[in-house]
Amino acid sequence: MARIHREYHLTDRISWLRAAVLGANDGIVSTASLIAGVAAASAGRSDILLAGIAGLVAGAMSMAAGEYVSVSSQADTEGADLAREKRELAETPELELEELTNIYIGRGVEADLARQVAVQMTAKDALTAHARDELGIVHEMRARPVQAAAASAASFAGGAALPLLVAALAPLSALGWASPAASLLFLALLGVWSARMAGVRSLTPIVRVVFWGAVAMAITAGAGALFGAVV
């Protein structure tokens, strides 16, 4: 009996990994920036925690709604393309077969063989063949709005909880720098995790995440100190 060789590809993670990394990064940066800004305005701990919790809840809901709406738009576009392709296959099957043949020829397959492949692919599942080879729509890359929204909201809440925990435990006098400093460490760990999940062995993702997080927190803390108010 022949053994079945199964391969697991990193692209299988794309549908949720992007949303999860974005949510966690935004949760850490926005909440740490908010805490730094409020602390720089000489607010008390209760005000700082209240602002942080409000930012966590509002941010998680905003991320979920934003991801759902944006990914739903992608899903709508894919659905419209597939519906049009299905209609064209029903109305002009010979033209669609010729189109598929030319796609394979353009990829380097000899004309006669390309025709045979196109005929066989059409006989098996014409819509899937055109979706993959003409439109570039494959199952692993399909838009999944609910999955993206859930991953984004959960990761934002998890990311935001980290600087909030520091704000609750660190001395108030050191909060202006303790929360941002700890958050830079959290961002570095996020960069390591995202690089591993993406199959990348490089410091670039880590440096990128930490650098832009530091810039965002510095600007917010500066605004809080400058205006002496909650931002």
Residues sharing a CB contact under 8 Å with residue 1, sequence separation 6 or more, in sequence order: none
Is 3 domain-assigned? Answer: no
Cα–Cα distance, 188 to 184 (Å, whole number)? 6
Is 1 domain-assigned? Answer: no
Split into its structural domains, the chain has a count of 1
pLDDT category, 84, cuts 50, 70, 90? Answer: very high
Is 4 domain-assigned? Answer: no
Q: Please provide the average confidence, as pLDDT, over all residues in the chain.
A: 82
Is 207 domain-assigned? Answer: yes
Which residues form the domain of 177?
13-227
3-state SS class at 138: coil
pLDDT at residue number 57: 93
Residue 82 C-alpha from the chain's centroid:
24
Sign of torsion, CA 180 186 189 190?
negative
Is 5 domain-assigned? Answer: no
pLDDT at residue number 61: 93
Is 7 domain-assigned? Answer: no
Minimal CA–CA distance to 20: which of 114, 149, 204?
Answer: 149
What residue has token string 């729509």? Answer: 137
Mean pLDDT value of segment 190-204: 76
Is 139 domain-assigned? Answer: yes
Mean pLDDT value of segment 27-47: 80
